[in-house]
A and B are shown apart, each in its own frame.
Chain A
């Protein structure tokens, strides 16, 4: 039991940054301020900890999938709760949209033995990248998430960060340099 417990804790520590990035990317800008990505992830990890025995036997891929679906449930719950609290039209986020994007995320990230070899390899790299994003300073991380994960333009990113466009471009460039270095180091290992 203790062995399985430590095994799960190790895996949790490994996936925490990946989940954090995913949560941050999934919380749209309209929800920012009302929801904290770290709270959602904390809750998810706590749930995982409670189910440590059940999770200990899972393969890494299945474990990650379990975490993702738990995170998604927590996010949906939080959104529902928020809507009940404030009936603000501007803040209305369609749960169906969240669910649809989660399903697509699963389709992208699930790789099993039937996936093309390239997809398996790519998904591992995506996870490393998502985890590496958490090592960036706050504004660099937000910039990369907005630009590359949410697909915003430079102008939108700059506006959201309260920076000028050249400043945002600089932030983005430095963030990318950092990420590239992180991934190269990881790959060397």
Chain B
């Protein structure tokens, strides 16, 4: 409404009769919105008419959500081909019904865009919206992917837009993440109250191995997000953006444990409907990239916002979704006032809430959080270049060297059994040398030290196929270690021919050097702290030269220490 119109209005106040007429027209128009014949009811462009129309729409639009809620006698629409609709859910934008498609005998979910969202919008806009809605949905339907909820049918009934999709029996990622957060809160509470300092099997309680349990492990969540990211990439290649990726939109099919992304291409559509009260930015603030929030703060035009939106904004949302699914909190805890919320979002852009991560009672995998952090970088160019790259990063994390997954006790076996055995082995060799036992027995005793080590690796055979390469690497390093040591002992024996005991004293120094090399080799693909252990072994090698008499015991002590450090220190490797 312009000022000139307002002043005109002050000059001539419409009569009550005219107002009553306009009021009735407005009512008719609302009940028969879709019928074109009634468009001409609005063609008489008098000032009173436009003023009345503006005010009517203004009030009606704001009151419609409340009216919609208070109405008790509200029947679901009757759709062709469908049996009676049964309401299953209701959100800010639409109502979800469940019904059987009568010809196909298939249970569908039907989403009807809430009629109150469309009230107070001019007919032309509605027409435009319907076109865009159908176009977007056709595009979305064009992309068939096993992790995207397909759209079966698009339609319009009584001025309401609706579309049908398969009814997914299951839950959403949001609910799973809430379960997870609640589970860890209870767990930490119980631990605090019972104060069990020594919980040998803590790993078991932290990561329930059951793939279908209600409390998903980080691996399971990461697996879902990886699949979703690949689906998003497939759609990006067709030039369609999702625009509103969040845990709520990721459905998990209970039967097949398959993640499905829903509401494709709708965010943008839903943004442009009621622009008068909105900032014009679609999507959910908590999962929205900063550049879009900034555009909203500038009151940018819808075109500008559409230009800002890109593949990297979906990558940001994917990162935020992963973060939220892991922690149970959305990455930016919101304030309820939208202005404050926007300001908050801008204030801690990169400050991915590390304190929040610390507060999380369970263990959060550091490397996975790093992936989130990269995807949620403030600068779009610093993020993963595509959803596929993001998926690859998660896949790399899922396939990381890790051999404790299906054998949770392995870690404890290493420090409680293998470490004492290695130490005992050192002592035995030392005793054999003291009593001048025959040479083959000493050799046997020395190489028996490999038995507990290889037994541990053999126990880890149960681990999944994804860590196959890691296990192969581990085996080749340690078999090489054993073979090299045997060759070394043999050559030393030949060098110091008459005296077998001197050759063994020298061998321990060489053995420490070989161990040092093995750990340096492991530091590349495994725990980075192995290079420090490798360095320590080099020092031990020199040290052993000074105390040749007790070298078996010294070596045994350091071997046991290494086992203990590996078992207790290498968190990421074991189960992070």
Please tell me if the beta carbons of B286 and A113 are within 8 angstroms of each other in the complex: yes
Q: CA A167 – CA B18 in complex, angstroms?
A: 11
Contact of A122 among B15, B65, B69, B270 (CB under 8 A): B65
Q: CA A168 – CA B22 in complex, angstroms?
A: 12
Residues 104-158 (chain A) with a chain B CB within 8 angstroms:
104-105, 107-109, 111-122, 124-126, 129-130, 144, 148-151, 153-154
Residues 60-92 (chain B) with a chain A CB within 8 angstroms:
60, 62-72, 90-92
Please tell me if the beta carbons of B23 and A121 are within 8 angstroms of each other in the complex: no
Please tell me if the beta carbons of B55 and A126 are within 8 angstroms of each other in the complex: no
Please tell me if the beta carbons of A108 and B278 are within 8 angstroms of each other in the complex: no
Instruction: Check B246 for interface membership: any CB of A closer than 8 A.
Output: yes
Q: Nearest Cβ in chain B — how far from A21, in angstroms?
A: 9
Q: Nearest Cβ in chain B — how far from A75, in angstroms?
A: 12
Please tell me if the beta carbons of A124 and B65 are within 8 angstroms of each other in the complex: no
**Known interface pairs A108-B68, A117-B296. Does A166 touch B16 (Cβ–Cβ under 8 Å)?**
yes
Residues of B close to A154: CB separation below 8 A: 20, 23-24, 27
Instruction: Check B208 for interface membership: any CB of A closer than 8 A.
Output: no
Contact of A150 among B56, B65, B70 (CB under 8 A): B70
Please tell me if the beta carbons of B56 and A151 are within 8 angstroms of each other in the complex: no
Please tell me if the beta carbons of A115 and B92 are within 8 angstroms of each other in the complex: yes
Please tell me if the beta carbons of B69 and A129 are within 8 angstroms of each other in the complex: no
**Known interface pairs A122-B277, A126-B62. Does A149 touch B70 (Cβ–Cβ under 8 Å)?**
yes
Instruction: Check A100 for interface membership: any CB of B closer than 8 A.
Output: yes
Q: CA A117 – CA B344 in complex, angstroms?
A: 14
Please tell me if the beta carbons of B65 and A173 are within 8 angstroms of each other in the complex: no
Q: Nearest Cβ in chain B — how far from A168, in angstroms?
A: 7
Please tell me if the beta carbons of A104 and B68 are within 8 angstroms of each other in the complex: yes
Instruction: Check B248 for interface membership: any CB of A closer than 8 A.
Output: yes
Interface size on A, residues (CB 8 A): 51
Q: Nearest Cβ in chain A — how far from B54, in angstroms?
A: 8
Residues of B close to A149: CB separation below 8 A: 63, 66-67, 70
Q: Nearest Cβ in chain A — how far from B85, in angstroms?
A: 16
Q: Nearest Cβ in chain B — how far from A145, in angstroms?
A: 9
Contact of A108 among B23, B59, B60, B69 (CB under 8 A): B69
Residues of B close to A168: CB separation below 8 A: 20
Instruction: Check B226 for interface membership: any CB of A closer than 8 A.
Output: no
Please tell me if the beta carbons of A120 and B336 are within 8 angstroms of each other in the complex: yes
Q: CA A129 – CA B120 in complex, angstroms?
A: 16
Residues of B close to A124: CB separation below 8 A: 337-338
Please tell me if the beta carbons of B71 and A101 are within 8 angstroms of each other in the complex: yes
**Known interface pairs A101-B71, A116-B283, A117-B279. Does A111 touch B336 (Cβ–Cβ under 8 Å)?**
yes
Residues of A close to B281: CB separation below 8 A: 117-118
Q: Nearest Cβ in chain A — how far from B8, in angstroms?
A: 14
Instruction: Check B274 for interface membership: any CB of A closer than 8 A.
Output: yes
Contact of B69 among A59, A101, A113, A125 (CB under 8 A): A101
Q: Nearest Cβ in chain A — how far from B419, in angstroms?
A: 48
Please tell me if the beta carbons of A169 and B16 are within 8 angstroms of each other in the complex: yes
Residues 146-189 (chain A) with a chain B CB within 8 angstroms:
148-151, 153-154, 165-170, 172-173, 176-177, 179-180, 183
- Name B's A-contacting residues (CB within 8 A): 14-17, 19-20, 22-24, 27, 52, 55-56, 58-60, 62-72, 90-93, 174, 244, 246, 248, 267, 270-271, 274, 277-279, 281-286, 288, 296, 330, 332-338, 341
Listed from nearest, the 4 A-B pairs whose CB atoms lie closest are: A113-B334, A61-B336, A166-B16, A169-B20
